[in-house]
Amino acid sequence: MTERVVLAYSGGLDTSVAIPYLAERTGAEVIAVAVDVGQGGEDMTVIRQRALDCGAVESEVVDARDEFAADYCLPAIRANALYMDRYPLVSALSRPLIVKHLVAAARAHGGTIVSHGCTGKGNDQVRFEVGLAALAPDLKVVAPARDFAWTRDKAIAYAEEKGLPIDVSAKSPYSIDQNLWGRAVETGFLEDIWNAPVEDLYAYTEDPASERDPDDVVITFDDGVPVAIDGETVTPYQAIRELNRRAGAHGVGRLDMVEDRLVGIKSREVYEAPGALALITAHQELEAVTVERDLARFKRGVDQRWGELVYDGLWFSPLKRSLDAFIHDAQRHVSGEVRLRLHGGRAVVTGRRSEASLYDFGLATYDTGDTFDQSLAKGFVRLWGLPSTMAAQRDARMGGA
């Protein structure tokens, strides 16, 4: 019986060339699976047909936009997920979803091999293969760009030799990955980290220096989930799309950073994530109002570790699953509204309110109406500092030893 390879298919040069190449190299039939996670660009029906024209025996397109928003982006909002305190996991969030659908396709079509277009230098090879090992350890993996030293010039020559129906004449100076949650740009002149980004590499955001009036937006959350924008009920997918549009119009969400890849190298990346950063900014502020101090302090460490696990390709790990349970419980009172002002590349919180608020005006005010009993503070301060006082006295007694 002929083996079948399930290929994560993007419709671009590398994965299109991989279809006949994998068939030749492995003797297997190729099934192309394209997953729509809101990346935009070409019509997905065109991509499906291209895979068939390149020799795939089956070609599937999965509309996973709502699933991506609700099951992958939403947990990132509730975890305030920012790798290295900056990057909102644009590519990392989509990979476990793609893996899930690759496994489903392999089961449906009798596939025994899964293939992807990642190189050996990036994080995505880890995210794909560790995810596959967690969900379907029986499946074999073939990565042409890594396993067969497949380079772009080889891919172009092979496409021309085979007469494949893809345009190989134009080469973008950048490597781009994009989805609903954001857009990642690398390579080309950006590899010199002294070079500043140029305006033409951006697509999700307008120039933040352009003159325009500020945009005030009110985001409503229920248990950490964005459920309305300016009073209009939205799904997670709709919330992200709307804030991509409105925050992107003001240049919100641009990042230029050197990050630590899992494989050990540092990489320069330029990101656009207007909706992601606006939503995380609002969510963090509502947590500041509604989450008790010690829980909030502990959750900040959990959030950081959650982001690292997702970045490192461990979406399906036991630790990630347990952190999800903690985060879910910590969101029980994260309900209310946050007002953001979008302007000049920034999303600035200008208001917050919640029926679950722990902010007490009477305790906080310094004016008439103050209900805080200041007579309690003197004794509290002395007891709080008692260990440090005793240690200082001991050190003085022993000559500072």
DSSP-derived 3-state class of residue 342:
strand
Distance CA 352, CA 185 (A): 34
- Known binding residue 119? Answer is yes
- Known binding residue 244? Answer is no
- Known binding residue 127? Answer is yes
Distance CA 285, CA 300 (A): 13
Write 345-350 long-range contacts (CB < 8 A, 24+): 345/208, 345/209, 345/250, 345/251, 345/252, 345/254, 346/208, 346/250, 346/252, 347/247, 347/252, 347/253, 347/277, 347/278, 347/281, 347/282, 349/281, 349/282, 349/285, 350/216
Active-site hit among 48, 65, 95, 246: 95
Q: Tell me, yes or no, if 175 is annotated catalytic.
A: yes
- Known binding residue 352? Answer is no
Active-site hit among 14, 91, 183, 254: 14
- Known binding residue 11? Answer is yes
Exposure on the CB side of residue 304, measured as CA atoms within 13 A: 7
Q: Tell me, yes or no, if 213 is annotated catalytic.
A: no
Active-site hit among 124, 254, 267, 303: 124
Q: How many helices (H) and strands (E) does the chain have?
A: 15, 14
- Known binding residue 83? Answer is no
- Known binding residue 379? Answer is no
Q: Which tokens sit at 358?
A: 């722990």
Q: Which residue has 């029980």 as its token pair?
A: 332
- Known binding residue 187? Answer is no
Asked whether 22 and 114 are in contact (CB, 8 A), the reply is: no
Active-site hit among 175, 317, 354, 357: 175
- Known binding residue 322? Answer is no
- Known binding residue 16? Answer is yes
Q: Which tokens sit at 355?
A: 């029926």
- Known binding residue 359? Answer is no
DSSP-derived 3-state class of residue 350:
strand
- Known binding residue 87? Answer is yes
- Known binding residue 239? Answer is no
Q: Which residue has 């277009």 as its token pair?
A: 117
- Known binding residue 303? Answer is no
DSSP-derived 3-state class of residue 165:
coil
Write out the catalytic residue numbers: 14, 95, 124, 175
Residues in the annotated binding site for L-aspartate: 119, 123-124
Annotation: binding site? 8-16, 87, 117, 119, 123-124, 127, 175, 259, 271
Numbered residues of the known binding site for L-citrulline: 87, 123, 127, 175, 259, 271
Residue stretches of the annotated binding site for ATP: 8-16, 117
